[in-house]
Amino acid sequence: MGVTVLQQFPTENRTGPSTIELLSKRISALGALQQGQFLVDCETFTSCAALGHQRTVHVLHNSEQPATVFSILETGQKTIPLATDGLFDLLMMKMSGFYSSKKQTKAESKGPRYEIGDFCVKLGTVTVSQNFRGVLVEVEYRPCVVPAMCWELMREFLQGFLGSSVPATPPPYLQNRMQELYTPIDTIHQYLEQFTIFRKAPGLRP
């Protein structure tokens, strides 16, 4: 598990599939080989009024860690991340009386997964309740575990195939954790951050 950077790629009047195809061509031209598909999904539950102060639970799955369910509880003051077994999904179903899911906010990002050298690149089409919202590019540099050490290197790699759309600073979530050891839950936080932006944004044409 290495450092992962997640960023949006502007579609600029292109459709979702054509954007993915453009990026696929670029990364293949660099020598990347496709290694299957990936999927990250996110479902959000809110507590019912009877529990008092409203809390939100985001439940996420990542195909990179297929046996784990990640959940992030937002109480208003605190954010509590939790990594659990697959059974957590069933637990949430049992608790449907207390936590109800907002069906229209189910977000997911899926698409091809590429490997190039020690990098792993994922080109995701983002949909929020089945509507196309944009393109997310995830790049993982697997040998390194501290974001501060390899951010410059990863930025160079991102610029190599995304061009000028690469920001000069790391994703906001990572900025406070540049010196810490990177763990899979950090990737989940970045996805949640992006999904929240997509949910708020007005719908794009598919």
Partner 1 sequence: MERDIEQLNSALNSIKTLRSNVRRVFESVSNGLRADHGEDGKENKFIHELQELLTTVNNNLRDVESAVGNLTPPPGPFNLGSTAFLGQETTQERQALYGQLVNSYKWTDKVREYSALAGNILQTNSFNKTYKTFSTTKRRKTQTSNHNVSPEVIENLITNIDRLFPDVTITASRPFLPNPVIQACLGRVLKAIIAFKGLMIEWVVVKALSESNDLWAESRYKVFKKVTENCHAAMCHFHSPMMPELAVKSFMHWFHSYNTLFSAPCKRCGNHLLGNLPPTWRDLRTLEPYHEECK
| Dihedral pair phi/psi, residue 30, rounded to 5° | -80, -10
> Which member of 9, 45, 157, 195 binds partner 1 (CB under 8 A)?
157
- Tell me: does residue 203 bind partner 1 (CB under 8 A): no
For partner 1, which stretch binds (CB under 8 A), given 61-69, 92-100, 110-118, 129-137?
110-118
Residues 6+ apart with CB under 8 A from 90: none
Candidates 44-52, 76-84, 153-161, 162-170 — which segment interacts with partner 1 by CB under 8 A? 153-161
Q: Can you tell me which of 26, 55, 142, 177 binds partner 1, judged by CB under 8 A?
A: 142
- Region from 10-18, 92-100, 138-146, 189-197 binding partner 1, contact rule CB under 8 A: 138-146
Structure tokens at 93: 């179903």
Q: Among 144, 162, 178, 204, which residue interacts with partner 1 (rule: CB under 8 A)?
A: 144
Any idea how long the chain is? 206
Binding status of residue 143 toward partner 1 by CB under 8 A: yes
Distances (CA, A) of 45 to 24, 55, 72, 89, 90: 34, 8, 10, 12, 14
163 part of the interface to partner 1, by CB under 8 A: no
- Beta strands (DSSP E) in the chain are 3-9, 33-47, 56-62, 68-74, 79-85, 99-101, 107-116, 119-128, 131-141
Burial of 132 (0-12, 13-18, 19+ CB in 10 A): middle
Candidate list 145, 162, 178, 204; residue touching partner 1; CB under 8 A: 145
162 contacts partner 1 (rule: CB under 8 A)? no
Token pair belonging to 53: 């102060």
Binding mask 55-94 for partner 1 (x = CB under 8 A): ----------------------------------------
Contact residue for partner 1 among 38, 45, 70, 119 (CB under 8 A): 119
For residues 106 and 45, the answer to whether their CB atoms sit within 8 Å is no
Note the residues at the interface with partner 1 (CB under 8 A): 1, 30-31, 116-119, 141-146, 148-150, 152-153, 156-157, 160, 181
